[in-house]
Each structure stands twice: as C-alpha cells, then as structure tokens.
Structure 1
C-alpha cells in the first residue's frame, strides 16, 4: 500500500510512525506533504527514506490512500489550491475534526471517503479512534483502514456519522480535560506545601492506579467512589465541595460545548 499524508503535523506524523513501526507500509511508499516549509528539513531527517514535499510542489499523488491531517480551518484553502486530481481508485481518510463526509466529497469531487477522529495518545500507540465511512466503501477497504487505525491504539466503527462530533468532544478533546484536572490537583499539592515534583509523582501515579482499578474491577464508578469515600472522612469533604459547586455539571457542559464547536467547524 502507498500512503500520502496531507498535513505533516503532530497527528499526521504520529500516524506515519505507527504505520512504519508495525511495518504496515514501507518507508519508500510513504509520502508526507507539509504546508509548513520551516519543518521540511526536520521531517526529512526523521523520515529520510520517505518522500517529503511541500504543498506547492505536488501536482500528482501516487498513493492508494490519502490521509487528510490538516486543521479543519485550513481544509477549504487546501481544496481550492491543490493542483492534483483524485484518481477513481484512491481512498481518502480524513482525521479533521468536524468536517463531514459530504463536504469532503464535494470539495475534493471524490466519493470514496472515510472519516475518523483519533486523539493525542496515538503518539504512544494508545489512542482511541472513532470512524465512519461514505456509502460505496467496501468491507475489505474498511478492514484495511481499521488495520492502520489499530496501529495507533484502538478503533471503533460508527454507523451514524453524527456521533463523530460527540467522539470529538469526548475522546478527541478528552486528554486535555484530564490534564486540566491533574494540573489542578498538582497545584493543590503545592499549595499544601508538597514539593512540585513530589506532587506530580503522587497525582500521576494516583491517576494511573485509578485507571487500572476502573479497568480491572467489576464495580461501577459509584461503587469505586464509595470505596474511597468513607463517611465523615477526607474524601467525602472534597466530594461535598465538588457537588456544592456542580463540578460534574460544569464538566458535562464543557464537553457539550466542545461537541457544538465540532458541529460549527463543518461550516
């Protein structure tokens, strides 16, 4: 398989590294296309055996799969300024937030589109990606796409494309929510007199341990909370403050706003 990636940013490059790591593609069959000329030499060093181009150098793309990894705000410019024609047998995989399949098909004048929403832990091969496809994409083509997506972590096929805006808000943006909470916890530790590095260690290891308990326990989240929050204890005091300030509703409201923004990106 030959793959071209339009937009050699963090996500495009993390996909490339995963494909090469698991030998799903040969380096010489990977074509990275960047709009940012300042990153050209840096990308060339890391992917020395692959083809590297800037957008204005490309008149034709020799690839079975074209991955669109540009920012959604840049897609209109890309579609209006690219000088190549899509070939009938080429597949398009979009990892842009918010841009619907119908709009991609219209702007590229090409029907064979799969749309996916990965998240940043794909950098470590621990991502989660929701994806869906246009009508006419065959089962075997989807299996090939899923194989590529699974090299970056896990993937879930969704029949309803509208759910991808929710996936964008939940898992696409989700890592930032955890970083936000972890940052608040670390700062609370510092305020209590704990050294910053020690506070980081306590919070990060707590987060890791809590994840494994969720993953390996048959108990519900409510039951796990009760296991920690003994009556009249310290955890109960913290949870009381969270509840009084509607923290859970604030978090839910923020995630729903992220979904609304994903819908707006389609324009």
Structure 2
C-alpha cells in the first residue's frame, strides 16, 4: 500500500508516524507533500526514506490512499491548483474539519472519499476519530481505512455524516476545553500560594486519576461527583459557585458554537 499526505503539518505527520510505527506501510511508500518550502529540511530529517515534495512539484501521484490534511480554509485553493489527476482506484481520506464529502467529490472530481475527524492526542497514538464514507466504497476498502485510523488511537464509524460536525466540536476541539479548565485550576493554585510547578503537578495528576476512576468505576458521573462532594464541604462550595454561574451551560454553549462553526466551514 502506498500513501500520500497532502498537507504535512502536525496532524499529517502524526498520522505518518503512526503508520510507520505499526508497519502499516514501508517508509519508501510514504509521500509527504507540503506547501511550505521552509519545512522540507525538517520533514526530510524526520522521514529520511520517504518521498517529500512541495505541491507544485507533484504532477503525478502514485498512491493508493491520498490523505488530505490541509486546513479547511486552504482546501479550495489547493483543489484548484492540483497539477495531477486522481485515478479511479485511488481513495481520498479527508481529515479536514467541516468540509463535507459532496464538496470534496465535486472539487476533486472524484467519488471515492472517506471523511474523518481525528483529534490532537493522535500525536501520541491516543486519539479518537469519527469517520464516514461516500456511497460505493466497499467494506474491505473501509477496513483498510479503519486500520490506518486505529493506529492513531480509536475510531468510530458513523452512518450519518451530519454527526461529524458534532464530533468535530466534541472530540476534535475537545482537548482544548480540558487544557482551558486545567489552566484555570493551575492559576487558582498559584493564587493560593502554591508554586506553579507544584500546582501543575497536582492538577495534572488529579486529571489523570479522575480519568482512570471514570474508566474503572461502575458509577455514573453524578455518583462520582457525590463521592467527592461532602455536604457542607470544600467541593460543594466550589460546585455551588460553578452552578450559580451556569458553568455547565457556558461549556455546552461553547461546544454548540464549535459545531456551528464546523458547519460554516463547508461554505
């Protein structure tokens, strides 16, 4: 199997590293393509056995799967300036937020499109990706795509493409929400007189422990919260402040706005 990646940025390169790590492809069967000439030396250093090009150098693309990993805002320009023609057997896997399958098919004049929405923990092989496919793609072809996606973490197939905008808002953007909350917690620790490095340690380990408790407990989230929040105690004081300021509603509103923006990106 040969893979080409259009857009050798963070996500495109993290996918590449996962494919190579799990030996899903050979290094010489990987073709990395970037618009940024200044990035070529660094990419060549990280992927010494792979083919590396700029967009304007590619007049023919020898690949079974072409992964489109450019920013959604750049896709129209990229699609209009391809110097190669897609062949009938080639599969396109888009990991762009918001751009629907039909638009990709129309701009590339190519029917074989799978659309996926990964998130940044794919950098560590701990991501989660929602994906869906155009009509006409066989089960075996879809399984090949799933094998690739699973090398970056976990994947979930969705029949309804419309749900991918929600996946984008929930898990695609989701890591940033946790970083935002963690940042607020660390700053609260500093304000209480705890050194920043210690505050960061306490918060990070608390987050890690809470994650494992969720994963290993039969209790629901309300029960887990109740276990920590004694009547009249410190946790209840914090939760009361969150509720008085409608923190849950604010978070939900932000996530729904992220979904709205994902829909807008399709144009």
Give the shorter-chain TM-score range.
over 0.9
Structure 2: distance between partners of 1:23 and 1:79: 30
Structure 1: distance between partners of 2:5 and 2:245: 45
1:229 is the counterpart of 2:246: no
Deviations 1:203-244 (A, max 9, x none): 000000000000000000000000000000000000000000
Following superposition, the deviation at residue 155 of structure 1 comes to 0.1
Matches within 5 A, 1:126-141: 126-141=126-141
Query: What is the match of residue 190 of structure 1?
Result: 190
Query: What is the match of residue 25 of structure 1?
Result: 25
Matches within 5 A, 1:96-111: 96-111=96-111
1:165 is the counterpart of 2:165: yes
Equivalent position SS for 1:266: coil
Structure 2: distance between partners of 1:36 and 1:219: 49
Aligned residue pair count: 267
Query: What is the match of residue 241 of structure 1?
Result: 241
- Quote the RMSD (CA, aligned, Å): 0.2
Equivalent position SS for 2:159: coil
Structure 2: distance between partners of 1:142 and 1:80: 27
Structure 1: distance between partners of 2:98 and 2:37: 26
Following superposition, the deviation at residue 67 of structure 1 comes to 0.1
Equivalent position SS for 2:97: coil
Structure 2: distance between partners of 1:54 and 1:266: 25
Deviations 1:173-204 (A, max 9, x none): 00000000000000000000000000000000
Which ranges in structure 1 are unaligned for 5 or more consecutive residues? none
Query: What is the match of residue 85 of structure 1?
Result: 85
Structure 2: distance between partners of 1:246 and 1:100: 34
Structure 2: distance between partners of 1:215 and 1:36: 41
Which ranges in structure 2 are unaligned for 5 or more consecutive residues? none
Matches within 5 A, 1:31-42: 31-42=31-42
TM-score normalized with structure 2 length: 1.00
Query: What is the match of residue 72 of structure 1?
Result: 72
Following superposition, the deviation at residue 69 of structure 1 comes to 0.1
TM-score normalized with structure 1 length: 1.00
Query: What is the match of residue 43 of structure 2?
Result: 43
Following superposition, the deviation at residue 60 of structure 1 comes to 0.6
Deviant stretches of 4+, over 2 Å? none
Following superposition, the deviation at residue 70 of structure 1 comes to 0.1
Query: What is the match of residue 265 of structure 1?
Result: 265
Query: What is the match of residue 207 of structure 1?
Result: 207
Following superposition, the deviation at residue 256 of structure 1 comes to 0.1
1:144 is the counterpart of 2:144: yes
Structure 2: distance between partners of 1:36 and 1:155: 30
Structure 2: distance between partners of 1:108 and 1:55: 15
Equivalent position SS for 2:128: strand
Following superposition, the deviation at residue 39 of structure 1 comes to 0.4
